Each structure stands twice: as structure tokens, then as C-alpha cells.
Amino acid sequence: MDWKTLIRPEIVQLKAYTVDRKGVRIRLNANESPYPLPESVRRRVLAALETTEFHRYPDPEAKALREVIGEWIGVAENALLLGNGSDELIQIIATTFGEEGGVVLFPEPTFEVYRIAALTLGERPYGIPLTDDWDLPFPEILEAIRRLHPRVIFLSYPNNPTGNCFTREKIEQILQESSGIVVLDEAYFPFSQKTFLPSLGQYDHLLILRTLSKIGMAGLRVGILIGHPALVAEINKVRAPYNVNALSQVAARVILEEWPLIEPQIAQIVAERDRLYRKLQTIPHLTVYPSEANFFLLQCARGGAALWEHLMAEGILVRRYPDHPMLKEMLRVTVGQPEENEVLCQAIHRFCSQE
């Protein structure tokens, strides 16, 4: 049997996400927090895991964790839905609101899971290039909304990988014009402190995504969807019953209860981001784009692909985009611990100042 004919061509064309970590000593490729849990919090998590029942399924509604997250964010529990990372929530949103051939719109470049989710569901991903300063292109987006009636619009705020927050008034206008769902993906909110959360009362077609991944819990895979309770109730029908495993439910709850011990790590990352920005700006032949997230997009006049190889040879892993037409020669670097950033800057400097 030729099983290959059973796979849709758009899936055959996709590449699976893999990362070669061999020989890597500094990982700045995935926008994780560079800081491990404080020891006292780690011990509390381990103690809580002792009593977790491994032979039972987890709470399908993750009620205890949702309560803690609701209080932490300041929203009602019935406005929340949790996912196995926001990656899963993106898939669930596209499943709930998309239809075969229906348009899923996003600016480009952006977080690639929006495209992959739409593609794998047989929907029509529709990317519109950002402006030269990485803002939303108007009137192009408004025209596309009027012409194509997208079922879902994804906006990463701040945008991954460009690092900036799009103009607020443009997003407001998109919310007013769109008759489909508008998703504000605020994965990097802890670093930008900019949010559309207060707009939820005004727009019942707005969904907000957050995640615990960027603030020290990437290994737990907990994503957060916030929306109008009636909408959340519909999306909840699509969610697999046990999508957040028992260990993650327990660990995330305990860690968030200790939030005052975690929060200073975010302030450290933000301060280090601003220091790293100033430092990168002094490197010749390097363009660094300003960022309100925990990473920077870099462009090296000496060639991004060669810089990536150079950093890899020094044991520093950063993100590259060899297959993306707009990002071919660009790299994305996550803000690491100060010593890691120092090593990164020195390595980039060595490469960029070669004759």
C-alpha cells in the first residue's frame, strides 16, 4: 500500500520542528527563562508531587490550577481554559472556529504555529507582510478582512520574532472591523506589560493567550486562554479531556502560589534585555531591532547564516530561519543570564569585526 498518498500535500511539505543541541553550552534559541526555580520553590513542588496519584487521570478541568491562575491574572475562572502549552490552544482555536478553506489571517513574520495549525486543518493560512518597521500594514490588513472575512486573526503582541508591540490603535481597528475571532497572543506580556485584557468586556470575539513557558515553566507546558465565558465554553468542547497532565497541574499551582519569589526573575530579564540591547547596538555590521519581549531579532551584514554557524561552533545555540523568505539572514537571540549574554556579545563581535 502506498500510504504516502494518504498524507495531504501541505503536510508532506512541512518540516517537523527539531533542534540539534549537541555540543551546545548556552541555549538562547527558545525564549525560555534562563533562571531555574528558586531552591525553596523547587522543594515545595517536589513535596507536592509526592502525594500526586500517578495511577489516576488528572482533573480534566484542572480546576485547582485554573483557580490559582484566575486569581493571578485577575479574571473569573469560567473565562479561562488551559492547554498543553499555548501551542495546543492555537490548534484548538483554529479547530473550533476554522472551516475547510476558511481564511486564518496573520501578519508576517510571526509565530509560525498559526500557519501550521491552519494548514494542518485544511484551512487557508493568509500571511500579510509587516511594514519595514515591523508594524501592521494598513490598509492591506483591513482590505483583507473586508474581502476574505477571516474566521480567525492571530496577532502576537509583542510579535515573535520581531519583538515589537504593534500599534494599539491599529489593533483596536482590527477588532472593530473583524467579524471573525481575533486572538491576541500575549505570550511575552510579562516583559512588555502591555495587554488587551481590559478590552475583553468590550469585544466578545476577542481571545487572549498567555503562557507559563516564558517565565520559568517551559517544561510544564501550560498555556492559558482568556475569553468571554460563553465563547470559552464552546472552545472547551474541542479540548481533549486530560490535556494538562497531573504533574504540570500540581507543579504550576505550587509555583504560582510562590509568585513573589519568581517575579524578581522577570525584572532581572527585563533589565538585562535593556543592557544587552545597548551592548548589541555597539557591534559593527549588526542591526538589532528594539524589543519589548525577552529576545532580539538580529541582522548581520556579514551574513546571518554564517554568524549562526560561528555561534554554533562556539557552543551558542540561537534561532535561525533558513526557510523563511523574510528572515533568511536573520537570527533571534533570547536574553540569557548576564554571563551568557556576555559570551554571546563577544562571539558576535568577533564575527562581525573580522576583516
Ligand X SMILES: Cc1ncc(COP(=O)(O)O)c(C=O)c1O
State how beta strands 316-320 and 330-334 pair. Answer: antiparallel
Q: Which of 108, 112, 123, 185: binder of ligand X (CB under 6 A)?
A: 185
Cell of 125: 493560512
CB contact at 8 A, 191 and 273: yes
For 59, 133, 267, the CA distances from 290, given in Å and listed in that order, are 42, 10, 18
Phi, psi of 85 (to 5 degrees): 85, 160
Could you say which of 58, 85, 163, 336 contacts ligand X (CB under 6 A)?
85
Residue showing the smallest CB distance to ligand X in the complex: 85
Which of 90/283 has CB closer to ligand X? 90
**How many of the other CB atoms lie within 10 Å of CB of 143?**
12
Measure the CA–CA gap between 138 and 58, rounded to whole angstroms: 46
In order of 107, 152, 170, 192, 201, the CA distances from 181 in angstroms are: 15, 5, 16, 23, 15
Query: Could you tell me which of 130, 190, 199 has the C-alpha nearest to residue 162?
Result: 130
* DSSP code for 223: E
Measured over the CA atoms of residue 53, residue 56, residue 62 and residue 64, the dihedral's sign is negative
Among the listed ranges 15-23, 38-46, 79-87, 170-178, the one in contact with ligand X (CB under 6 A) is: 79-87
340 binds ligand X (CB under 6 A): no
Q: How does strand 124-129 pair with strand 152-156?
A: unpaired
Q: Is residue 192 near ligand X by the rule CB under 6 A?
A: no
Binder of ligand X out of 28, 187, 250, 283 (CB under 6 A): 187
Which one of the spans 13-21, 43-51, 84-92, 95-103 is the region binding ligand X (CB under 6 A)? 84-92
How crowded is the C-beta side of 255, counted as CA atoms within 13 Å?
Answer: 24
Provide the mask over 136-165, with x wherever binding to ligand X is found by CB under 6 A and - wherever it is not: --------------------x---x-----
Candidates 39-47, 53-61, 83-91, 249-257; binding stretch for ligand X (CB under 6 A): 83-91
Q: Is 86 in the site for ligand X (CB under 6 A)?
A: yes
Residue closer to ligand X, measured from CB, 84 or 341: 84
Q: Which residue, 33 or 341, has its beta carbon nearer to ligand X?
A: 33
Nearer to ligand X by Cβ, of 108 and 314: the residue is 108
Q: Burial, 337: exposed, middle or buried (Cβ in 10 Å; 0-12, 13-18, 19+)?
A: middle
31 is an interface residue for ligand X by CB under 6 A: yes
Residues 98 to 117: which contact ligand X by CB under 6 A?
111
Strands (E), the chain: 26-28, 80-83, 103-108, 124-129, 152-156, 181-185, 206-211, 223-227, 286-288, 295-300, 316-320, 330-334
Residue 163 CB, nearest distance to ligand X (Å)?
11
Evaluate whether 63 touches 257 at the Cβ level (below 8 Å): no
**211 touching ligand X, by CB under 6 A:** yes
Looking at the Cβ atoms of 83 and 347, the one nearer to ligand X is: 83
Please, which residue, 31 or 33, has the CB nearer to ligand X? 31
Residue 248 binding ligand X, by CB under 6 A: no
The residue among 154 and 351 lying less far from ligand X, judged by its C-beta, is 154
- Nearest to ligand X of 213, 249 (CB atom): 213
The nearest distance, CB 111 to ligand X, in angstroms, is: 4
Q: Which of 33, 91, 213, 294 binds ligand X (CB under 6 A)?
A: 213
Contacts to ligand X by CB under 6 A? 31, 85-87, 111, 156, 160, 185, 187, 211, 213, 223
